[in-house]
A and B are shown apart, each in its own frame.
Chain A
Amino acid sequence: MTAVATTGAAAFLGRYEGLRTRLPGARVAWVEALRDKAADAFRAKGFPTRRMEAWKYTDLAAVTGAAFGEPLTSVDDAPALPPTAHPRAVFVDGRFRPDLSTLDGVALQVESLGAALPRLEGRIGALARPENEPLAALNTMLFEDGLVVEVAAGVAAGTLEILSLAAESERAPAFHPRHLVRLGVGASLTIIETATGPVAARYLHNPVFEIEVAEGARLAHGRLQQEGHEGIFLSTVYARVAAGGTYDNFTLNAGAKLARNEIHVALTGPKAEAHMNGVQMAGDGQHVDTTTSLDHAAPDCSSRQTYKTVLAGRSRGVFQGKIHVHQVAQKTDGYQMNQALLLSPDAEIDSKPQLEIYADDVKCSHGATVGELDADHLFFLRSRGIPEAQAKAMLVEAFLTEAVEAVADEPIRTALEQGVAGWWQRQGVAA
């Protein structure tokens, strides 16, 4: 009789063995095969360690050293929800809650993954790579629910909100929602996704998105990661953009004790575009990581990335961004900028932009800067009678706003501006 592992990869593998016959799609052959394959990959590699190049700067000890429970199967209480002007899908601990969602009359098909799974063969798992990304393997092995969003060809579907809440509980739940977004030819959609949770609750939120943008379609994907202080957010987004399509991702990475925002975008048809922007804000005790990987796999594509990180207290920020230009991708135009502002002597930033280029007729560049608030700027404001704390707050906000301004989509920009505003004051630290 061997002891049951309560922490680390073994605990999650044990849970999979226990749940294997009860998970959604358990008796559907292709789902079983998909999960088993992912479990094999996860068993072989386990959680990423810092010896893996992609995880050089982010340590998952907070995940591997802790015990997590299963989310409660039914939540009776209805948590207070912020008001919204848009149709909204609500998840609590990774489970879709139709009772809390308001999806009537939307111009798109929205379904819970748990229900839709059997008809999604070839779609779920089309983009995720459990063999490369251990967290995608963990998600594939254990996902129970998620959102399936499909927009028919030519439809302008407006704005959809996805709200993911963690419930107040002592169970330290781990949940792994799997979301699927598919836009037909020429369709358009804006998604505003918010992830949040109670201040003191411990939980692990490990969502995976698989996003398909067809020819000429346009998806604006705004993400506000505002998890609770003890939450852990490990998210992986996979997007594939066909000819003439656009994927616009903006991530506000602000909450959680440990947050990883990993985005893989492939531009697979000519003239496809990707815009990936974001701001990361970390205060005392936080670790925020944004890792992007952009595949230019077709000619005449363009990509723009701007990421800003501000760090206060004892915090750590990570940015890793790779642009891979394949040999066929002639006339690629790729640009990436990442900038970090250190507001505390105890903060650390690690930055690794990366170009991998196999085509010659390309224009690719990246830039990175790291520094503190500019003394001249501060002096300029103070000399005009603005108190130091306020002057600093203005400069921090101005620094972040530069990235937010790049967002073309109005509802997303508004949400982001609200997320950024007043962050520095809330830190309550004198740097």
Chain B
Amino acid sequence: MPAVTETLETVQSVTDSGYKWGFETDIEMEFAPKGLNEDIVRFISAKKNEPAWLLEWRLKAFAMWQKMEEPTWAAVKYPPIDYQDAYYYAAPVQKVKPKSLDEVDPELLRTYAKLGIPLKEQAILAGVEGAGDSPSDSGRMPVAVDAVFDSVSVATSYKERLAKEGIIFCSISEAVQEYPELVKQYLGSVVPQGDNFYAALNSAVFTDGSFVYIPKGVRCPMELSTYFRINAKSTGQFERTLIIADERSHVSYLEGCTAPMRDENQLHAAVVELVALDDATIKYSTVQNWYPGDSEGRGGIYNFVTKRGACRGARSKISWTQVETGSAITWKYPSCILQGDDSVGEFYSVAITNNHQQADTGTKMFHIGKNTRSTIVSKGISAGKGQNTYRGLVKISPKAHGARNFTQCDSLLIGDKCGAHTVPYIENRCMTAKVEHEATTSRIAEDQLFYCRQRGLNEEEAVGMIVNGFAREVLKELPMEFAVEAQKLLAISLEGSVG
């Protein structure tokens, strides 16, 4: 039971608030004026020295957004958002490249340390000269990291090592400068500007995010990872991630997110686009731990995110794994467009809502190619006054002969004031396709609890263990290091929900 022991230690070590990433980093920031209009869009584009086509692209998105209405169909409730009362650009002030860690803004380093980034990688992220070239910590599988601080990517590690394989891993702003053709070809090709309200907003004002290109036949030698951090007050974070896996390539990408504790609600409206060509595989894992608000439901992040992957090539595969423990409100449906014949889409999700958190999350699987397969495993855990909704769509087009889907949605209720909802949509227009869906809702059984208590575990430990078992099918899909982190998070998120 090492994982459980570790979980308990973590539970005991957290502060009264239960959210250990709630710190605020006091570093010098540069802001654009508050509010949103065409000038702000132009300001962001100019600040990033973007080519004219991208500015046009943004302006088109902004024009679309102005005509769109905020969606209200999700099972979430929140006061109206004033889109004019936020900063759309906030960036740490750029300094000359430091010579060693001692010259780096200590606040920034402290932030990295608190986020759990190893010292070696801290140096790389802080942009210390030469830090990225030496081999990594002994024996440990290196993870290349891109850190996105509010609006901009502050640093990317292991760039050169990756470059040897022809892999491009950089911030999207950098990609716009260095690889404009790739960006132009794929940006908006999976999530078009006018896709939905939040995607349109993102397209107009996105400030940074990660860009990955894996060339033909290359298996990325390490996990690629991005830490997203909302730091500044009254800002929204609008990152845009674009991952392209060329023929026969393979990549595993992780993202982690945290934010300071604040009484106000902050908006996070990201767009993630994945493109997998023939025989390529993309594995995208998320541990989402944005600040969820306090136990009374004050503050927290509104996480309104559009994530979509296109399996364009034959035999390509896109796999989404998400552990959603944070955010006051989550509105997120990572999807797969299975265009290539024999392509595969997967969605593994654990979503926890405690206190006043609300989550409306799920996936969409569009089967277009022949013999396309998809698997959906969703585990929802509701505690306190949390509301948790699985909402998913499996759509089979007339030509998707032999398509196959299996969906399993399980909900666990802890306490009698929370809610668990399941809304799957199945639309099948192909006779030879086979779709199966099953959903269950239950609470932690008395006999399971009794069994654990009898063996000397207290109630909280027992619940932590049972919940980890409930979510195991999803957690085992995560890369090793993330899986451990995720287990701890589950326990912390449920703190105070029993007894």
Q: For the side of the interface on B, what is the size category?
A: 20 to 34
Instruction: Tell whether, in the assembled complex, residue B421 and residue A356 are in contact, meaning their CB atoms are under 8 Å apart.
Output: yes
If A53-B73, A347-B431, A369-B437 touch, does A357 touch B426 (CB 8 Å cutoff)? Answer: no
Instruction: Tell whether, in the assembled complex, residue B439 and residue A353 are in contact, meaning their CB atoms are under 8 Å apart.
Output: yes
Q: Mark B429-471, 1 if CB is under 8 A from A, else 0.
A: 1111111111111110000000000000000000000000000
Instruction: Tell whether, in the assembled complex, residue B420 and residue A357 are in contact, meaning their CB atoms are under 8 Å apart.
Output: yes
Q: In the complex, how many angstroms separate the beta carbon of A280 from the nearest chain B beta carbon?
A: 15
Residues of B within 8 A of A359 (CB): 413, 416
Residues of B within 8 A of A353 (CB): 422, 424, 437, 439
If A356-B421, A361-B443, A365-B440 touch, does A372 touch B432 (CB 8 Å cutoff)? Answer: yes
Residues of B within 8 A of A343 (CB): 431
Indicate whether A201 reaches chain B with its CB closer than 8 angstroms: no
Q: Mark A337-366, 1 if CB is under 8 A from B, else 0.
A: 000101111011111111111111111111
Indicate whether B427 reaches chain A with its CB closer than 8 angstroms: yes
Instruction: Tell whether, in the assembled complex, residue A370 and residue B424 are in contact, meaning their CB atoms are under 8 Å apart.
Output: no
Number of residues in A with C-beta < 8 Å to the partner? Answer: 35
Residues of A within 8 A of B415 (CB): 360
Bound form: Cα–Cα A349–B425 in Å: 11
Instruction: Tell whether, in the assembled complex, residue A367 and residue B437 are in contact, meaning their CB atoms are under 8 Å apart.
Output: yes
Q: Which of A358, A361, A369 has the most CB of B within 10 A?
A: A358
Q: In the complex, how many angstroms separate the beta carbon of B163 from the nearest chain A beta carbon?
A: 47
Indicate whether A327 reaches chain B with its CB closer than 8 angstroms: yes
Instruction: Tell whether, in the assembled complex, residue A369 and residue B398 are in contact, meaning their CB atoms are under 8 Å apart.
Output: no
Instruction: Tell whether, in the assembled complex, residue B431 and residue A368 are in contact, meaning their CB atoms are under 8 Å apart.
Output: no
Instruction: Tell whether, in the assembled complex, residue B438 and residue A365 are in contact, meaning their CB atoms are under 8 Å apart.
Output: yes
Closest residue of chain B to A351 (Cβ to Cβ) is B426
Residues of A within 8 A of B429 (CB): 347-348
Bound form: Cα–Cα A355–B427 in Å: 18
Instruction: Tell whether, in the assembled complex, residue B433 and residue A370 are in contact, meaning their CB atoms are under 8 Å apart.
Output: yes
Of the candidates A344, A347, A366, the one whose C-beta lies within 8 Å of that of B422 is A366
Indicate whether A105 reaches chain B with its CB closer than 8 angstroms: no
Residues of B within 8 A of A342 (CB): 428, 430-431
Which residues 48-72 of B have a CB within 8 angstroms of A? none
Residues of B within 8 A of A366 (CB): 422, 437-439
Residues of B within 8 A of A372 (CB): 431-432, 434
From DSSP, what is the main secondary structure of chain B's interface residues?
Answer: strand
Of the candidates A53, A345, A362, the one whose C-beta lies within 8 Å of that of B443 is A362
Residues of B within 8 A of A18 (CB): none
Of the candidates A344, A356, A360, A363, the one whose C-beta lies within 8 Å of that of B416 is A360
Q: In the complex, how many angstroms separate the beta carbon of A192 from the nearest chain B beta carbon?
A: 32
If A347-B431, A369-B436 touch, does A360 touch B426 (CB 8 Å cutoff)? Answer: no
Closest residue of chain A to B73 (Cβ to Cβ) is A53
Of the candidates B419, B431, B432, the one whose C-beta lies within 8 Å of that of A356 is B419
Indicate whether A164 reaches chain B with its CB closer than 8 angstroms: no
Instruction: Tell whether, in the assembled complex, residue A345 and residue B416 are in contact, meaning their CB atoms are under 8 Å apart.
Output: no
Residues of B within 8 A of A363 (CB): 441-442
Instruction: Tell whether, in the assembled complex, residue B441 and residue A348 are in contact, meaning their CB atoms are under 8 Å apart.
Output: no
Of the candidates B417, B421, B435, the one whose C-beta lies within 8 Å of that of A371 is B435
Q: How many pairs of residues, A versus B, come closer than 8 Å at their CB atoms?
A: 113
Indicate whether A330 reaches chain B with its CB closer than 8 angstroms: yes
Bound form: Cα–Cα A342–B398 in Å: 12
Q: Mark B144-186, 1 if CB is under 8 A from A, else 0.
A: 0000000000000000000000000000000000000000000
Which residues 341-369 of B have a CB within 8 angstroms of A? none
Residues of B within 8 A of A361 (CB): 416, 443
Q: In the complex, how many angstroms separate the beta carbon of A66 from the nearest chain B beta carbon?
A: 26
If A370-B434, A371-B433 touch, does A327 touch B416 (CB 8 Å cutoff)? Answer: yes
Bound form: Cα–Cα A365–B430 in Å: 26
Instruction: Tell whether, in the assembled complex, residue B436 and residue A357 are in contact, meaning their CB atoms are under 8 Å apart.
Output: no
Bound form: Cα–Cα A353–B413 in Å: 19
If A330-B416, A352-B424, A364-B440 touch, does A357 touch B411 (CB 8 Å cutoff)? Answer: yes
Q: In the complex, how many angstroms separate the beta carbon of A340 from the nearest chain B beta carbon?
A: 8
Instruction: Tell whether, in the assembled complex, residue B443 and residue A360 are in contact, meaning their CB atoms are under 8 Å apart.
Output: yes
Bound form: Cα–Cα A431–B432 in Å: 12
Closest residue of chain B to A342 (Cβ to Cβ) is B431
Q: In the complex, how many angstroms separate the beta carbon of A285 from the nearest chain B beta carbon?
A: 16
Closest residue of chain B to A363 (Cβ to Cβ) is B442
Instruction: Tell whether, in the assembled complex, residue A362 and residue B442 are in contact, meaning their CB atoms are under 8 Å apart.
Output: yes
Indicate whether B119 reaches chain A with its CB closer than 8 angstroms: no
Bound form: Cα–Cα A235–B420 in Å: 30
Closest residue of chain B to A349 (Cβ to Cβ) is B428
Closest residue of chain B to A359 (Cβ to Cβ) is B416
Bound form: Cα–Cα A354–B426 in Å: 11
Closest residue of chain A to B423 (Cβ to Cβ) is A354
If A357-B411, A360-B443 touch, does A345 touch B430 (CB 8 Å cutoff)? Answer: yes
Q: In the complex, how many angstroms separate the beta carbon of A364 from the nearest chain B beta carbon?
A: 4
Bound form: Cα–Cα A313–B235 in Å: 56
Indicate whether B287 reaches chain A with its CB closer than 8 angstroms: no
Instruction: Tell whether, in the assembled complex, residue A357 and residue B413 are in contact, meaning their CB atoms are under 8 Å apart.
Output: yes
Indicate whether B314 reaches chain A with its CB closer than 8 angstroms: no
Residues of B within 8 A of A364 (CB): 440-442
Instruction: Tell whether, in the assembled complex, residue B423 and residue A352 are in contact, meaning their CB atoms are under 8 Å apart.
Output: yes
Indicate whether B418 reaches chain A with its CB closer than 8 angstroms: yes
If A345-B431, A369-B437, A371-B434 touch, does A355 touch B418 (CB 8 Å cutoff)? Answer: no
Which residues 401-416 of B have a CB within 8 angstroms of A? 411, 413-416
Of the candidates B416, B435, B442, the one whose C-beta lies within 8 Å of that of A368 is B435
Residues of B within 8 A of A327 (CB): 416-417
Residues of B within 8 A of A358 (CB): 418-419
Closest residue of chain B to A370 (Cβ to Cβ) is B435
Q: In the complex, how many angstroms separate the beta carbon of A313 from the nearest chain B beta carbon?
A: 12
Bound form: Cα–Cα A364–B411 in Å: 10
Bound form: Cα–Cα A355–B232 in Å: 39
Q: In the complex, how many angstroms separate the beta carbon of A74 from the nearest chain B beta carbon?
A: 47
Q: Which of B417, B432, B438, B441 has the most CB of A within 10 A?
A: B441
Residues of B within 8 A of A344 (CB): 431
Which residues 193-216 of B have a CB within 8 angstroms of A? none
Of the candidates A355, A367, A431, the one whose C-beta lies within 8 Å of that of B421 is A355
Closest residue of chain A to B443 (Cβ to Cβ) is A360
Bound form: Cα–Cα A357–B382 in Å: 11
In the A-B complex, the 6 residue pairs with the smallest Cβ-Cβ separation, listed nearest first, are A360-B413, A371-B434, A351-B426, A370-B435, A355-B422, A368-B437
- Known contacts A357-B421, A358-B419, A371-B434; 17 additional CB pairs below 8 A are A340-B428, A349-B428, A350-B428, A351-B425, A352-B424, A352-B425, A353-B439, A355-B439, A355-B441, A357-B413, A367-B436, A367-B437, A368-B436, A369-B435, A370-B426, A372-B432, A372-B434
Q: List 27 A-B contacts (CB under 8 A).
A: A327-B416, A344-B431, A347-B429, A348-B428, A348-B429, A351-B425, A351-B427, A354-B422, A354-B423, A355-B421, A355-B439, A357-B419, A357-B420, A357-B441, A360-B413, A360-B415, A361-B443, A364-B440, A364-B441, A364-B442, A365-B438, A366-B422, A367-B439, A368-B438, A370-B426, A371-B433, A431-B431
